[in-house]
Amino acid sequence: MDTSATSANPVDVDKFLVEKLLAPEPEMAAARRRAHEAGLPHIEVSEMQGKFLMLLTQIAGAKRVLEIGTLGGYSTTWLARGVGPEGHVTTCEYEPLHARVAADNLAASGVEDRVEIRIGAALDTLDSLLAEDGEPFDLFFIDADKENNAHYIDLAIMLGRPGSVIVVDNVVREGAVLEEGDPLTDAGRLVNGVRRGIDVLGSNPRVDATALQTVGVKGWDGFAVGIIR
């Protein structure tokens, strides 16, 4: 098929796919508005990506999910839908304001009873979870401060089991991942954190991983997806 003359763009395609594949979600749209009105950054996953996370959770049969980076609870809600009424999501959030907005959004979506928000530095929370020695998690969604991606992945491997799924967001960053970043800048440290996380996924013998580039309303980015051997 000759597409050389098409005027389509990735944002329009995203809108088309949302219209065709997703049912209207007024409560999810309201969750976005609450988060934005509270001053949270507009960096939550897209509708299509949220539905992807829900379906991936269901495909994996995950009943215990650990999310690193709650923000306003948008992705958390999709994950909570994925685990179902008998499942549980633990989500880590550093900012108390974000956690409060997320709690309101989870309640409005009717999934607050299957989610626990742990407030504080995620590395500390993960260490606490290790010390608690609870049941392993079935799926991890890592979408927080990228500088710590490698540490988050290492700890996810320790908190998971053979067959657990690890999903890492924002691993392409408009192609910036190709080159080492300037460690003296925030943007450079962020890119370097992403690169270190990819190195862990590619070198740790306990993980089998790949990555998919994404394009759409969130720009040019991607997910890394791995499974614990």
Model pLDDT, residue 3: 58
Q: What are the chain's domains?
A: 10-228 (3.40.50.150)
Q: How many CA atoms lie within 13 A of 164 on its CB side?
A: 24
Model pLDDT, residue 25: 87
Question: Is it the case that residue 1 has pLDDT exceeding 60?
Answer: no
- pTM: predicted TM-score of the whole model, two decimal places: 0.95
The answer to whether residues 164 and 116 touch, using CB atoms and an 8 Å cutoff, is no
Sequence-ordered alpha helix ranges (H) in the chain? 10-21, 26-37, 47-59, 74-83, 96-108, 122-132, 149-159, 186-203
Amino acid in the structure at residue 92: C
User: Average model confidence (pLDDT) for the chain?
Assistant: 95
pLDDT (tens digit per residue) in 61-81: 999 999 999 999 999 999 999
Model pLDDT, residue 119: 98
